[in-house]
Structure 1
Amino acid sequence: MELALFQILGISLGLGLLVGLQRQHDQSELAGIRTFPIITMFGTICALLAQNFGGWIIAMGLVSLAGLVVVANLMKLRQPPFDVGLTTEAAALLMFAVGAYLVPGSSTVAVAVGVLVAVLLHLKEYLHRIVSKIGSKDLKGIMQLAVISLVILPILPNETYGPYGVLNPHNIWLMVVLITGIGLLGYFAYKVLGQKAGTLLGGVLGGLISSTATTVSYARRTKSSHTGSTLAAIVIFIASAVSFIRIITEVAVVAPETLATVAPPLAAVLLLMLVLGGGLYFFKDDGESQMPEQGNPAQLKTAFVFGAIYAMVILATAFARDQLGSSGLYIVAVISGLTDVDAITLSTSRLMTTGDLTHSSGWRVILVAALSNLAFKAGLAGVLGSRSVFGKVALLFGIVIAGGLLVLWLWHDHFQLPLGMFGSGE
């Protein structure tokens, strides 16, 4: 019951923040990024109370809020220099509702709401500073993510179509939402810290947004001598290491029951990358470098392109399994990994979840795709970057690919994490 209430309040908070962000960006004097979440949660609390005391509570809450708005605007008209704000008034109403809710409701939920109100009130300057760094294009990206996740996803049919019965529009778009959300998280971290980001942070953020785009950006910079080849190689390598963390995270979200078997071999390759990256970082060039400008990943066009790629990978995977057996999946993994390792990771995770692919074969398919992606990025560095950066990247990725091939050859299924950590293995 409490989980359901938290879900309702979480949606209420999220919607309030979304509208408040837009209003704050437009410099609304009446309500912004703090006031709208408070108002929204106030309405939610009133509705919860109405279940026990009747709908008149919602009506009175609406009347009270309307009265606040009217009074605030009257004061604004009479005293033009006066800066009207509703945060304190709305918070007072909400805390009144929280206090009333404590009687018939859950004390845990009430305490959580009270803490959220206090945090929102305390973070005024920090939240305003973050909003000030968001441009019009960034705001458009946020709204497009809202369309992708809250408008398109719910209306898509949750049924299978097409040859082999593997194309489920709802599941395909759910993966689009997952990948877009991960990219957007990294993008906003870049917006807050990006231009101040040094070598290490630049690689981490680049891996969250797109390790391929990071490879292209830094390789190109070595052509114009703005970035040393060692520094560029470090950032490219770190971004690729983070992409392995991203792969493991995607498996954890889509197929958590497979982690006991899938995570260890991938983590072994990741550990090799961390050791190599740490050694290279120790010998890096002096000075830090700013990150190149990054694009917002929450674009409708990008979402549709990834959705199409993911659907094609699913079809190719089903075809390969039907015509060539499990060995055909490795061909799909090599080809898919050249451009987008996320799609093959997600499709393989789905196959392991449904039981159409063993966990042992699943992690091998994913690792083959990841190694193929490393080879592709090394090629990009060679085409777009200087000879020096290509030499460093090729050497590093070559060692990792060799290590990955050894893992594919020598790793045994009994090398897995304890089953209790992530659920059952195979």
Structure 2
Amino acid sequence: MLMEFYRGIPPLLLQFIMTVGFSFVVGLEFRSYHHANNYKLHFGSTRTFVLIGVLGFILYTMDPSRLLFAAGLLLLGALLLVFYWRLSATKQFSLFSTLFALLIYLIGPITSLFPGWFLVLFIVVLILILSEKTLIHHFSDQLANEEIATLAKFLVISGVILPLLPDQAIAPMLPVTYYRVWLAVIIVSGFSYLSYLVNNYFFKSRSLLITGLLGGLYSSTAATVVIGRQAHGLDSSSGRKVSSALIIATIMMYIRLLAIIFVFDKSVAMQLLAPFIVIIFISSLAVFGLLTVRNHAPVLHETTEVKHPLELSTAILFALLFMLFAFITQYVTSNYGSHGLKYMAVIVGFTDIDPFILSLLSGKFIVSDSALVSAVILASGSNNLLKAAYAVALARNRSVLFGAAWLAFLFIISILYTYNYAW
């Protein structure tokens, strides 16, 4: 019924109504912005913004050559220049109001040319710029100068280097392409970078549970080391939160692996979906059981800095490990088949599993998808055993016993699952 109603409205009328309505809404927010900040001089009011929006829409629509629209833009720009000249005479040099008026002038053409979702997004951005001034300033003040350079590095490695790399095998014993190697670097670095930003700019003083949650997205092994060190010297009354943090870090590892594997090999990811979801579900139940039991232990905080994931040396090391594991995997699968791959996966689990798993999914090895699934489960399972050993060795008390035992349990069920799945 609603769609039929919209179809009955002439498109030109609908575009005009949207232009007026959105110009009015932004004008209201612009007025509130100036009142909230006690600005005495500003360009126009809500009605002025509506008139600017209508002017842009009419001039754009009535002249297909767009000359009238360009003339209107020049006229509006001249008026805004006069306004800015008057503003600068009072030692105020902000271009915010003038630029905002020009953006309102563009609402009409955007309504006519772009799909509705883009128009809504454009208006939402304008409103957020007005309403979240304090948040934007706070974020820009907190943002370290080197983070801008870091973002530039990420754009270079993803938007410049990646398209230039050939998508062809590196060598007969390295059945992965240059493109896939660097794509793996970008995806893993992207996940780690997101976790790094959240860790450093939203949870600088974070509890152990947050460390497990966000640190697990970055690296569950690194998070386990941090939690184990923090647990050292604590008594058993803190054991529930410490063990919960250890398990949460591993839950995040499985979620991160599943997301990355979906990018590289959807068929393998679909086969991993059931066992990974089972592990995530039962582990979440264990955490829920630990946290719902009343515990009066103090809230523990961890402020250890996370190593920056977008350092060039880190990316190069990951790429080298990726190719090394691809070479070893090619040798093992060529000489020992899927059985050799499974034994190798268990061993690799005691190192860095990300480059191994991604090289496994990116190369063209002579093994079945079921063997790949088994290798991923075994590698992640043995990595849990490594983390359990780290936790016990670093904490050296009873606070980590349940968490370490649970990680060892996950290793055992990973072995049992792969044995029944495709051994």
**TM interval, short-chain normalised:** 0.7 to 0.9
Q: Relative to 1, partners in 2 of residues 1:165 and 1:223: Cα closer, same or farther, differing over 3 Å?
A: closer
Contact 2:216 2:250 in 1 (8 A): yes
Q: 2:404 aligns with which of 375, 390, 394?
A: 394
Amino acid at match of 2:304: E
Corresponding residue for 1:329? Answer: 341
In 1, Cα distance between the equivalents of 2:324 and 2:65? 52
Corresponding residue for 2:298? Answer: 287
Corresponding residue for 2:115? Answer: 106
Q: Say which one has the larger Rg.
A: 2
In 1, Cα distance between the equivalents of 2:67 and 2:320? 49
* Secondary structure class of the residue paired with 2:351: coil
* Secondary structure class of the residue paired with 1:339: coil
Structure 2: tracts of 5 or more residues without a match: 1-59
In 2, Cα distance between the equivalents of 1:202 and 1:151? 33
Within a 5 Å distance, the mapping from 1:105-254 to structure 2 comes to 105-225=114-234, 228-254=238-264
Corresponding residue for 1:379? Answer: 389
* Secondary structure class of the residue paired with 1:84: coil
Deviation at 1:63, TM superposition (A): 8.0
Contact 1:204 1:238 in 2 (8 A): yes
Residue 265 (structure 1) aligned with residue 275 (structure 2): yes
User: What is the RMSD of the two structures over their aligned residues, measured on CA atoms?
Assistant: 3.6
* Secondary structure class of the residue paired with 1:326: helix
In 1, Cα distance between the equivalents of 2:205 and 2:212? 13
In 1, Cα distance between the equivalents of 2:174 and 2:399? 45
Contact 2:345 2:375 in 1 (8 A): yes
In 2, Cα distance between the equivalents of 1:65 and 1:242? 53
Higher mean displacement: 64-73 or 357-366: 64-73
Amino acid at match of 1:172: V
Q: Relative to 1, partners in 2 of residues 1:100 and 1:231: Cα closer, same or farther, differing over 3 Å?
A: same
Q: How many residue pairs were aligned?
A: 359
* Secondary structure class of the residue paired with 1:103: helix
Deviation at 1:75, TM superposition (A): 6.5
Structure 2 length normalisation: TM-score? 0.73
Deviation at 1:204, TM superposition (A): 0.8
Deviation at 1:373, TM superposition (A): 0.9
Residue 314 (structure 1) aligned with residue 326 (structure 2): yes
Q: 1:343 aligns with which of 344, 347, 355?
A: 355
Deviation at 1:207, TM superposition (A): 0.8
Contact 1:265 1:411 in 2 (8 A): no
Structure 1: tracts of 5 or more residues without a match: 1-48, 414-426
In 2, Cα distance between the equivalents of 1:358 and 1:240? 27
Deviation at 1:66, TM superposition (A): 9.4
Structure 1 length normalisation: TM-score? 0.72
Q: 2:372 aligns with which of 362, 385, 410?
A: 362
Corresponding residue for 1:89? Answer: 98
Residue 256 (structure 1) aligned with residue 266 (structure 2): yes
Amino acid at match of 1:214: A
* Secondary structure class of the residue paired with 2:176: coil
In 2, Cα distance between the equivalents of 1:410 and 1:377? 25
Amino acid at match of 2:376: I
Contact 1:381 1:389 in 2 (8 A): no
* Secondary structure class of the residue paired with 1:161: strand
Q: Relative to 1, partners in 2 of residues 1:154 and 1:383: Cα closer, same or farther, differing over 3 Å?
A: same
* Secondary structure class of the residue paired with 1:287: coil
Q: Relative to 1, partners in 2 of residues 1:244 and 1:54: Cα closer, same or farther, differing over 3 Å?
A: farther
Amino acid at match of 1:275: L
Superimposed CA distance per residue, residues 234-271 of structure 1 (whole angstroms, 9 cap, x where no aligned partner): 21221111101111111122222433322101222222
Contact 1:337 1:372 in 2 (8 A): yes
